[in-house]
Structure 1
Amino acid sequence: MKRLLRVFAWLLGLAILAVLGVVLAAYVTLRASLPQVEGRVALKGLSAPVEVGRDGSGVVRIRAQTLKDLLFAQGFVHAQERLWQMEFQRRVGQGRLSEVLGEATLAQDRFLRTWGFYQAAKSAYERLYPEEKEAVDAYVAGVNAFLQSGAPLPPEFRLLGFRPEPWTGPDVLVWAKMMSFDLSGNWEEELLRHRLLARGISQERLLELIPPYPEDAPTILQGEDLELPLKREEAPAALLRMAPPRFLEASNNWVVAGSRTVTGKPFLANDPHLRLGAPSLWFLMALEAPGYRVIGASLPGVPGIVIGRNDRIAWGVTNVGADVQDLYLLEDVGGKGYRYRGQVLPYRVREERIPVEGGKEEILRVRETVYGPVITDALENPPQVPMALRWVSLDEEDHILMAYLGINRAQNWQEFVAALSHYSAPSQNFVYADADGNIGYIAPGKFPIRKEGHTGMVPVPGNGEWDWQGYRKPEEWPKVLNPKEGFLVTANNKVTPQGFPYALTYDWAEPYRAERIRELLLAKERLALEDMKAIQQDQKTLLFRDFRPVLELLNPLSERAKTVRERLLAWDGTMDKSSEEALVFALWYTELTRLPKREVGEEFWDEPRYLLRAMREGDPNCDQPNTEYRESCLDFAALALERALDRKEALRVRSWGQVHRATFPHAVLTHTSLKRFTDRRVPFGGDRYTVNVGPFDPETLLMSHGPSYRQIVDLAHPEASLFIHPMGQTGHFLAPGYGDLLPLWAGGEYLPMAFAAPARERVLLLEPGR
């Protein structure tokens, strides 16, 4: 028996060694795919040597002798560090995820193919200006140089069992289209309003459920600063004054003139709020060539710097949320055509072949109209009436890359504005500062001119009567140079003051973040760099300020609720991750958002001004069903507090950060056993309305969106400027630098935003090859 046990133990040991050997071999193979960061590499396509330096945090500084070589090297480095991310992004834009991921992504591919993102990217590439095309082609050549270099591919390719195809120009442009889609949500708002009206909700009631932007709330521009003449603003139809889209990406930026700073020169700060993931959306770089010297945040897959500074100017962006999408209700004629201008036009049918992993293929027939694709064909629960989409980002021509190339090189306000004359979509709030002390703002983009009576807030008949009548001219765009107030704040709040000649949209973010930034900027006579950091990290929610009077009035239903209410009334509203009051307030407000569920058909309705009006004036939804007692809205608020405390006890936590965590999932591997290597979570504070934003899923309390990048530029001491993004520079989940910036980001720390290379810099020399 002992002999058998020894043999069994010996065999078990051999099996364990064999498994460990396989695991070790796989680990060694995967580690071999880490990017080369030192030495020399010969690459066909370069005209002269290029230096690629990396500091200890992985920030890359590329120094080249020509712009073409510089962008070639940028494409090469992006591919070194983020090839899998770039591959995933272009497959999203192409609608080709199912080819490698199977039927699980087939519905997503159908949706993306129906919209025609890649078709639009191919059309735009064919119409690029020569300088623009040369930049795109140089970048693409750099990506392909990496693919041809013989370097091992990132582990995701090995795990999924395929190799990437060579890159092309449309692969670059399609991600710009996807970013535009991510930042343009009007089509969803139109569908929402259409659905609510179909439920029998009146226009007047809709105004109560989704209140208009407050007239006394801050606008980005003041009437006294505008170049365009103001007019008497007529109130639009009740239905059309709506509140912000619930899921539109948000951001903050502000710029302060030297008259308000301790240095006598401007400060410019920016933190775009986008989806969080592993790796980060951004890649920090400095790019240097004759006539081109810029540093900031780049997008893997796209040439140039999107947000940053050069030697003379700095800029930052937030989403305007301009209404550049319209849905058109089609009078369908037998499924073969639609009625337009008195005629029946046949649908143009675009056939899309979607390969599915395993050798299958699905054929999708997309109906197209004079407006664009019939996107309701791709919805899971389509409305009864088919709707076609008109969207500026599906236009045949798009020169947004030309705009960014010009911004990167601009030396003054005039050159900055001239560069943006090429800008298309998504419209952004650009704040500007320069070394001479000027500050400015401009909202560029292709803003549709609509017929009077068509505000773009609800679907309109697609019969030709409501077609767009062109786009606004650049000289009509909202802009200001050196405003009298001495600073500019944008937080997705309303851009234009009363009387502006036309409407960019009727959807604006709640003004809480903008109001808080303004409070902090006005709190001191002179502001320093440390003040900019403090504002960017601020997590005091003005939402609590508005709802505190409700707590004062409600009658707690239990002793525990009474105790908690007293603690909340003594609280200052700071949503710190260590705060128990922040946890209770978040849970209570979440319960309040359930108020109109029966009426609107949605579990959570995060419209604070509707909820406040209900608490102050009453609302039909406050009376609970199946009870003899007629409940008031304060009764509902008291019951909501009890439910919040029940949920807190079930969670068994005492602080906000224990459940409110910023999540960084891998796009694919998060669904596998490898997620423990790829995914990250960190405790975080804030809520949707704090400057250091912390929006959360009301079901899970997890945070999937947030500050995807932060920068603070000091125009008096540019090399003292700061930037940071979460996760790390590399996308390789076995690399030492994977996720190394996350603790800095979560802790409110920054990296130097400096051209000067640190003392310890690893340098890779890219040399011309044959």
Structure 2
Amino acid sequence: MRILTILGRLAAGLVVLALLLLLGGYYYLKNTTLPQTSGRFVTPGLSAPVEILRDKNGVVRVKAANEHDLFFGQAVAHAQDRLWQMEFQRRIGAGRLAEVLGEAALPTDKFLRTLGVYRAAAEAYQNLPDDLKAIVDAYVDGVNAYLATNPPLPLEFKLLGFTPEPWTPADVLVWQKMMSYDLSGNYEEELLRYRLLARGLSKARVEALIPGYPEDAPTIVRRVPERLRPPPAAPEEAPAPAPQGGAWVDELLGLARTLPSSLEASNNWVVGPQRSTTGKPMLANDPHLGLSAPSIWMLMELDAPTYRATGATFPGLPTVVIGRNDRIAWGVTNHAADVQDLYVLDEAEGGYRYRGEVRPYRIRRETIAVKDADPVVLGVRETVYGPVISDVVNAPEGQALALAWVSLEPSDETMAAFYGIGKAEDWEAFTAALLRLKAPSQNFVYADVDGNIGYLAPGKIPVRKPGHSGKYPVPGTGEWDWVGFVPEGALPRAYNPPEGYIVTANNRSTPEGWPYAFTYDWAAGFRATRIEELIRAKPRLSPEDFARIQGDEVSLMARSFRPVLERLQPRSELAAEWRKKLLAWDGNETASSTEATVFQAWYAELARLPEAEVGEPYWNEPRYLRRALLEGDRACADRGVSCREFASEALERALARLDALGGIVPWGQLHPAVFDHGVMTHQPQLRRFFDRQIAHGGDRFTVNMGAYDFATFRMNHGPSYRQIVALGEPDRSYWIHPMGQSGNVLSRHYADLLPLWANVEYLPMGAGEPVNRLVLEP
């Protein structure tokens, strides 16, 4: 017994010792990875001192005497809180992940090197006017001045065993290009359709599986101006050469899907003074992007005599992207305009046939460094359209695909747009700034203190020949080249419309009869319809009403399946019971709803309907599924059942699946919002340390969007930032983003905002009373 007592005391002592070592290690890491946020830095390159102030939530205010010093200071603040994120982003854009992550990252590097995004960023910088170069240079100087202080590095650098190199202008502009890639992914839609053709589907069947924009869904602009002529009648669709076998197309599409894509993402709306309880316009925005740890955004106030703006900023880029200044406010959603095309090349000895002659390929050599392995040399074939992206997956001879994309062009002044709107004081200055934007085309809503509201969707948007819709790859022989770009006067816009409000939710921007087609891949219209319903439900709305709209989780998609539910013939008592509950349900997919759990599990099973035909386990296209289940479809016949039987069996399978997962739990428990680190997510022993998750409601089609993976029900896209701006009443303006202001996992601001975000709660918009003050001195 005495020996056992001694051993017990020894074990207890070892536990205490282990805890002390762990605590000591924690505090050591914390002290050697967190930045200095108070005191003084000597940072050569400034003309006057700059203050970086942080409030109790880590929200940053940068005060400077001029714009150069302001963007220099913004860069220091970004680097202090998000240095690893900025490093990871520039490595993605440059195709340099394998250099620090090893061979597993090589396919992504090859793809991005083939695209040539970093080269395009470097070229764009060389072609910028001097005033824009000065902004980029100031930001680069700020990052490098911070690195020159030999600061504590975030834990990721220590774990991966490298230190950051000095920054260059291309490192800044490449993330702008990558956001353009994220929001301009039409070529993925082309690849998807091309892949379906390769599986033997007809174009008519592809169009049935991917239906067009619903006739009863709202458009952003309601009327065609008299000055715009109607479009010419389009002849038969341009030919889409059928791929010779589809495995390589599957591989290329799969590779494209490993990178972010947010085509159907974001809500914004604005109401005029006649619809506002404040007597001034109000504006709301919640961009939906991939969820990540850390957050995509960082909240900031930038304060200089000639530039004062507050809002969401991108670490790695200067200026405010979404927000307000003293006179105006603005919000952004994706217009999803089609600015990309795939061209099937007619290959010949020594090159490809183009306009009656054989053009030689221009070969670009890329050397990719690989950690613990030999470098890989990549030969990229360039054409008049752009790079041959099918080479990444070794497409068979005669099936080469070249990508044309406006963001790869040598001149790009998109940064001027975001810089200019931050300084704009009225509609004329706002639109003049936006017309310098190239890509991605976005839906900008506007409000000002004088009571005006507006909308503009700028961008360099290709005009195609009649018959070339942009839905499918076309022959790259010169016959189907772009014939120009949409003129400024024909871009979608509205100013003080009679409705007194403007809503954009990735829905169609223009009505029938507009002379230019911007895309055919709009969001289905459920979110836009719901927002308009809620705006029209009250004669005047308050900021609190706006918050309720941003948090709304009523799924009009779920309601649209009520007729399918009514036709079900349940086989079990449990299914009959849940059919009855779902018919009585209002479609509100709150985190606490079990009806949402059962509906979404059923919908996931319904999404398997064309699985054999499309070669994917799930087909998340509710317009096709609803029509098929109500009117009949060949996919049901291929399964040897009626569509009613398939829908009934799907409910039985959904309930069985939920039982295997542990029972019918609240939707938020089955459907957490997941914030993956990106790199450390692939390190099982570190994943729990870096990743976060929290219960969330909604689905892809709700205002409070909660897109999820059908295989796991885990939410991977959602509101990446929310803002509500009451013009003229700054104390009633609000903002929030998920996770926290810091990207350092050891910081108390790493995930402190997550509960507020999940509960659709907010911080007052603007930096509060400072608790930390750092002065940068020349």
TM-score under structure 2 length normalisation: 0.94
Deviations 1:264-318 (A, max 9, x none): 2111000000011110000000001012110000000000000000000000000
State the AA in 1 paired with 2:672.
R
Change (3 A) 1:720 1:11: closer
CA distance in 2, matches of 1:538, 1:239: 42
Residue 692 of structure 2 is aligned to residue 680 of structure 1:
yes
Change (3 A) 1:234 1:557: farther
Residue 306 of structure 2 is aligned to residue 271 of structure 1:
no
CA distance in 1, matches of 2:413, 2:141: 20
Instruction: Give the alignment partner of residue 640 of structure 1, picking from 622, 643, 650.
Output: 650
State the AA in 1 paired with 2:763.
L
Structure 2 partner of 1:144:
144
Structure 1 partner of 2:250:
none
1:343-358 superposed matches below 5 A:
343-358=357-372
Instruction: Give the alignment partner of residue 652 of structure 1, picking from 636, 653, 662.
Output: 662
**Structure 1 position 513, deviation (Å):** 0.3
**Structure 1 position 452, deviation (Å):** 2.2
Structure 2 partner of 1:317:
332
Q: Secondary structure at the match of 1:351?
A: strand
Change (3 A) 1:382 1:104: farther
**Structure 1 position 423, deviation (Å):** 0.4
**Structure 1 position 738, deviation (Å):** 1.1
CA distance in 1, matches of 2:275, 2:303: 32
Change (3 A) 1:483 1:72: same
State the AA in 2 paired with 1:270.
N
Change (3 A) 1:471 1:671: same
Structure 2 partner of 1:559:
573
Deviations 1:59-82 (A, max 9, x none): 101111001000000001100000
Further displaced range: 381-390 or 758-767: 381-390
State the AA in 1 paired with 2:228.
P
Structure 2 partner of 1:72:
72
Instruction: Give the alignment partner of residue 741 of structure 1, picking from 733, 742, 753.
Output: 753
CA distance in 1, matches of 2:504, 2:229: 21
Structure 1 partner of 2:402:
388
**Structure 1 position 344, deviation (Å):** 1.2
Structure 1 partner of 2:105:
105
Q: Secondary structure at the match of 2:485?
A: coil
Change (3 A) 1:634 1:328: same
Change (3 A) 1:705 1:379: farther
1:360-509 superposed matches below 5 A:
360-379=374-393, 385-509=399-523
Contact kept, 8 Å, 2:98 with 2:104, in 1: the verdict is yes
**Structure 1 position 204, deviation (Å):** 2.0
Change (3 A) 1:659 1:380: farther
CA distance in 2, matches of 1:49, 1:7: 62
Structure 1 partner of 2:615:
601
Deviations 1:452-478 (A, max 9, x none): 222211111111111122322322211
State the AA in 2 paired with 1:670.
T
Further displaced range: 294-303 or 444-453: 444-453
Structure 1 partner of 2:706:
694
Change (3 A) 1:389 1:644: same
**Structure 1 position 615, deviation (Å):** 1.6
Structure 1 partner of 2:248:
none
CA distance in 2, matches of 1:310, 1:738: 27
Deviations 1:388-423 (A, max 9, x none): 000000000110111111111000000001101210
Q: Secondary structure at the match of 1:441?
A: strand
Q: Secondary structure at the match of 2:462?
A: coil
**Structure 1 position 58, deviation (Å):** 0.6
Structure 2 partner of 1:58:
58
Structure 1 partner of 2:252:
none
Structure 1 partner of 2:679:
668
1:330-345 superposed matches below 5 A:
330-334=345-349, 336-345=350-359
Structure 2 partner of 1:294:
309
Contact kept, 8 Å, 1:208 with 1:610, in 2: the verdict is yes
Further displaced range: 668-677 or 168-177: 668-677
Change (3 A) 1:383 1:404: farther
Structure 2 partner of 1:231:
230
Further displaced range: 356-365 or 54-63: 356-365
State the AA in 1 paired with 2:681.
T
Instruction: Give the alignment partner of residue 252 of structure 1, picking from 240, 244, 267.
Output: 267
**Structure 1 position 719, deviation (Å):** 3.5
Q: Secondary structure at the match of 1:32?
A: helix
Instruction: Give the alignment partner of residue 299 of structure 2, picking from 284, 288, 302.
Output: 284
CA distance in 2, matches of 1:433, 1:382: 53
**Structure 1 position 358, deviation (Å):** 1.7
Further displaced range: 69-78 or 545-554: 545-554
State the AA in 2 paired with 1:175.
W
Contact kept, 8 Å, 2:239 with 2:475, in 1: the verdict is no
CA distance in 1, matches of 2:378, 2:231: 50
Change (3 A) 1:758 1:208: closer
Structure 2 partner of 1:85:
85
Contact kept, 8 Å, 2:234 with 2:466, in 1: the verdict is no
CA distance in 1, matches of 2:547, 2:27: 41
CA distance in 1, matches of 2:397, 2:287: 34
Contact kept, 8 Å, 2:56 with 2:769, in 1: the verdict is no
Contact kept, 8 Å, 1:48 with 1:767, in 2: the verdict is yes
**Structure 1 position 652, deviation (Å):** 1.5
TM-score under structure 1 length normalisation: 0.95
Structure 1 partner of 2:525:
511
Structure 2 partner of 1:549:
563
**Structure 1 position 50, deviation (Å):** 1.2
Contact kept, 8 Å, 1:206 with 1:239, in 2: the verdict is no
Change (3 A) 1:240 1:444: farther
Q: Secondary structure at the match of 1:681?
A: strand
Structure 2 partner of 1:762:
772
CA distance in 2, matches of 1:240, 1:565: 46
CA distance in 2, matches of 1:236, 1:113: 38
Contact kept, 8 Å, 2:606 with 2:625, in 1: the verdict is yes
Aligned residues, how many? 757
CA distance in 2, matches of 1:613, 1:8: 69
Further displaced range: 198-207 or 589-598: 198-207
Instruction: Give the alignment partner of residue 764 of structure 2, picking from 745, 752, 761.
Output: 752
Contact kept, 8 Å, 1:537 with 1:748, in 2: the verdict is yes
Deviations 1:571-628 (A, max 9, x none): 1100011111000000011111111111111111111111111122111211364xxx
CA distance in 2, matches of 1:211, 1:85: 38
- Matched-pair identity in %: 57
CA distance in 2, matches of 1:574, 1:560: 22
**Structure 1 position 450, deviation (Å):** 1.7
CA distance in 2, matches of 1:382, 1:218: 44
Residue 722 of structure 2 is aligned to residue 710 of structure 1:
yes
Structure 2 residues without counterparts, runs of 5 or longer: 241-256
Change (3 A) 1:726 1:19: closer
**Structure 1 position 758, deviation (Å):** 3.1
CA distance in 2, matches of 1:34, 1:71: 22
Further displaced range: 535-544 or 611-620: 611-620
Residue 530 of structure 2 is aligned to residue 527 of structure 1:
no
CA distance in 1, matches of 2:440, 2:368: 28
Contact kept, 8 Å, 1:376 with 1:383, in 2: the verdict is no
